[in-house]
Structure 1
Amino acid sequence: MDTIRNAQITDQSKAFDEKPSLAYARVLKDRRTKNLIPRLRPGDIAFIAHQDLDAVAARALVEKRVSAVVNAAASISGRYPNRGPLILMQAGIPLLDSVGEEAFLLAPDGSQATLMGDSLRFQSGLCLQGKRLTLELVEQQMEAARANLDRELTLFAKNTLAYIEREKGLLAAPIEVPPLKTRFADRHVLIVVRGEGYKQDLALLLERGYLHDARPVLLAVDGGADALLEVHLRPDVILGDMDSVSDEALKCGAELVVHGYAREDGRGAPGLERIKKLGLQAHVFHMAGTSEDAAMLLADELGARLIVAVGTHFSLEEFLDKGRRGMSSTFLTRLRIGSKLVDAKGIGRLLETQPHQLFRAFALILLAASTPILAMLFISGAGKALLRFLALLWHYHFR
């Protein structure tokens, strides 16, 4: 540790001749960017440890109007072309990259510091070195990362198929759902995840009058509850690990459902401890997969007529942003629910479409939703077996 401090003091002496990039500002740090976001105020320097900074986290930092971002990890590792650093650059927010794990440990949380070239200099004299990213450098790194996308796609597909083989019972196995007071049967259910584009999705649904006309059940996944409160809507149900939702949202009066891991893995429901500390009551819903998958299955099992998804993960980039090795539970969830699930963007476009175009637009939405399912069925062993069975059935019926 002394060696590190000495090296940084030496680096600081070289930095005295440099002009600070910005005024001294408070530095706040956290390993989990989503935990840091609520603590930040405009002008703060956000110190994160977020490899492959994703678009959702970057937009949240931009919205907080931070003066700079310092990352202990590589903001673009080269695994895939993540867009987080590009979003920061386009917003004019400086990004000091790859300062290292030891630097993250040394940095005093809440202390004043300023950026000077490739260093973060604290008033205490501590000077941490990294690599200052520019728009040109970020674009170069993203272009290099695109070359690795084929490999990531191959790994993604292999892992997805392997997990599907293990979890295929999700397609037909009975689901034990908690006894909620909120009525889901024969109603629209709006599932809100604080994911990519969630603000635009909610704004579009509000603007087009969908929420007023359909009066859907508002089912928030973790931080999705705060997203609803931001637009003055109270969630009916909050489901999740309870690790990225505010105390205010948990106390808003919604029914709480803690997402528990599959019973056989012995990990239980970690989010339940926080609920108890707040003096609240919650149901536990044991289900494999992500919390947003669990929310969709809950709505489906309780008889929802239509499930509209806001901010959920549909694209490959979003799955890579989350670091998921596959999409088995998500694929199986969507396969089980079928055409009952639509994306909020599709609903918004339907509502702004002329009456004579409604049928064509709705058909296109259903086709877009079913294309990934058909593709996965075609390339998987189970899918090929199903196709052979349908071909034989057709042959014997019409011969």
Structure 2
Amino acid sequence: MKKFRSGDIAVINAANISRQEAQALIDVEPAAVVNVAEFSTGAIPNYGPHMLLDAQVLLLENVGEDFIAGFRDGKKARITEQGEIFAGDNLLAHGTQVERAKAEKDFADARRNLVDRMEAYFGNSIEFIHSEGPLLIDGLGIPESGAEMKGRKVVVVSPSEDHRTQIKGLRNFIREYEPVIVGVDAGADSLVALGYTPDLIVGNPEDIDTDTLRSGARVILPADPDGTAEGLERIQDLGIGAMTFPAATDSATDLALLLADYHGAEMIVQVGDSLDLDDIFAAEPNATPAAMLTRLKAGNRLVDSSAIINLYTVKSGSSSTWLWAILGILVALAAIVLIIGMGGDGTFTDNLIDTWNNIATTVQGWF
């Protein structure tokens, strides 16, 4: 945005663009906005496209991922009425122009779809409560393994796109508080690869490396309500003891959070596999009724790792760093001058002159 000038063409990759994102674009006054994705996918009713159209901005969508590699930032381009993007005579991509009628139709369809989807979603939530009420209320079926969590901080690491980066960002937190570390599925492998030994592993052993399973962590296997657990044969072949956790959810992350909550963790820091209302609205695969209810059960003790990482991140500008460095040097020089000037038998000036002459004589002697 800092390089953007009024009348430029903005290139974005933002499906279902929000009002905030649209306003950020409107503020820099683009001539057109080219979207790699769709401005409205139909998953949620979003006002972003309407705001851009109200600002008389040309909208072009679905130009495809290849366009990102084909254009150069800051170079001149033109858009034809047919939705073609040219750099000189070179055709870079072809998209679909978004008109007002299409934006209105997409919004109305998305609103109806959202209502239908939410009715089904909360219907499934009621079914989960009906089948797993004893688990959510009294912890029925939760393994006793994990008693050391009581009153302590717990870090639950689930696999995600950037979970390794998040683990690295928590290193100071882990060093300071020595929390109980729970590896979920392949997240346990990442912990071992980064030099940590998980206290517990929750997940299907088929998806976890043998060395990780043999790291000394206690293993808990997700199981069906009837007690059937995938990966049990592998655990038996490796000669590793394990406990099962029967539940109607097949998410190992949900089970790990319930385990930490039941055993009285003071704080549960979640790495990866986070969930918010936007995920539920957009019907993301991880936004299941079980995931929502599990996080509500953990309540205010559940903290996303990004919040902890922000607390441990010290931001400082390079200019202020240089100023402090220069100030430190000046203070040190002033202290030396004062010590020399007041440390001899003569006046302040005579002491400085004598010291300087002695230094000069010594240096001449070296050469």
Instruction: Give the alignment's TM-score, normalised by structure 1.
Output: 0.49
SS of equivalent residue, structure 1 residue 285: strand
Change (3 A) 1:261 1:156: farther
Structure 2 residue aligned with 1:239, among 174, 193, 202? 202
**How far did 1:210 drift?**
0.3
Q: Work out whether 1:202 is the aligned partner of 2:164.
A: no
How far residue 180 of structure 1 moved from its aligned partner, in angstroms, is: 2.0
SS for the counterpart of 1:183 is helix
Match of residue 239 from structure 2: 279
Paired residue secondary structure (1:313): coil
1:167 aligns with 2:128: yes
Instruction: Tell me which amino acid in the other structure corresponds to 1:236.
Output: D
Shift in alpha-carbon separation, 1:150–1:250, aligned structure 2, 3 A: farther
Query: Contact 1:202/1:310 (CA < 8 Å) preserved in 2?
Result: yes
Shift of residue 232, structure 1, vs aligned partner: 1.0
How do 1:231-380 residues align onto structure 2 when only pairs under 5 Å count? Answer: 231-263=194-226, 268-289=228-249, 290-315=251-276, 323=285, 327-352=288-313
Instruction: Note if contact 2:146-2:260 (Cα within 8 Å) is conserved in structure 1.
Output: no
Q: Are 1:191 and 2:156 an aligned pair?
A: yes
| Superposition pairs of residues 1-399 of structure 1, within 5 angstroms | 153-168=114-129, 169=133, 170-180=135-145, 183-206=148-171, 209-263=172-226, 268-289=228-249, 290-315=251-276, 323=285, 327-352=288-313
Within 1, Cα distance between the matches of 2:254 and 2:117? 18
Alpha carbons of structure 1 residues 273 and 173: separation in structure 2 relative to 1, 3 Å:
same
User: Is the alpha carbon distance of 1:275 and 1:287 closer, same or farther for their aligned partners in structure 2, counting shifts above 3 Å?
Assistant: same
Aligned partners of 1:241 and 1:271 also within 8 Å: yes
Deviations 1:230-269 (A, max 9, x none): 2111111000123422222112111100011223xxx711
Q: 1:167 to 1:181 in 2, by over 3 A?
A: closer
For 1:54, the equivalent position in structure 2 comes to none
* Corresponding letter in the other structure for 1:262: P
**Alignment-mate amino acid for residue 263 of structure 2:** L
**2 CA distance for matches of 1:339 and 1:157?**
24
Task: Say which SS state the counterpart of residue 303 (structure 1) adopts.
Answer: coil
**DSSP-derived class of the 2:142 partner:** coil
Q: CA deviation at 1:343?
A: 0.2
In structure 2, distance between residues paired with 1:321 and 1:345: 23
Q: What is the CA–CA distance in structure 1 between the aligned matches of 2:212 and 2:64, rounded to whole Å?
A: 28
**Aligned match of 1:59:** none
Taking only aligned residues, the RMSD between alpha carbons, in angstroms, comes to 3.9
The alpha-carbon distance between structure 1 residues 137 and 336, as it changes in their structure 2 partners (threshold 3 A), is farther
Give the direction of change, closer, same or farther, for the CA distance of 1:190–1:249 in structure 2 (3 Å limit).
Answer: same
Report deviation, 1:310.
0.1
**Aligned counterparts of 1:137 and 1:211: Cα–Cα separation in 2:** 49
- 3-state DSSP of counterpart to 1:172: helix
Between stretches 197-206 and 252-261, larger displacement belongs to 197-206
Rounded Cα–Cα distance in structure 2 between residues aligned with 1:138 and 1:252? 52
SS of 2:265 mapped into structure 1: coil
Assess if the C-alpha contact under 8 Å between 1:223 and 1:245 holds in 2: yes
- Tell me how far apart the structure 1 counterparts of residues 279 and 186 of structure 2 sit (CA, whole Å): 17
1:241/1:332 CA distance change after superposition, 3 Å: same
Count how many residue pairs are aligned between Structure 1 and Structure 2.
228
* Separation in structure 2 between the aligned mates of residue 341 and residue 193 of structure 1, nearest angstrom: 14
Report if the CA contact (8 A) 2:149-2:264 is conserved: yes
The letter of the residue matching 1:195 is: S
Deviations 1:90-115, CA, capped at 9 Å, x for gaps: 997xxxxxxxxxxxxxxxxxxxxxxx
Q: Distance in 2 between matches of 1:87 and 1:203?
A: 33
Gaps of 5+ in 2: 1-37, 45-62, 70-91, 316-367
Sequence identity of aligned pairs in percent?
28
Give, as a single letter, the amino acid of the residue that structure 2 aligns with 1:191.
V
Distance 2:165 2:296 in 1: 26
Q: Residues 318 and 223 (structure 1 numbering): CA distance in 2 closer, same or farther, change over 3 Å? A: farther
Matched with 2:320 is none
SS at 2:221's partner residue? Answer: strand
Report if aligned partners of 1:175, 1:301 keep a CA contact under 8 Å in 2.
no
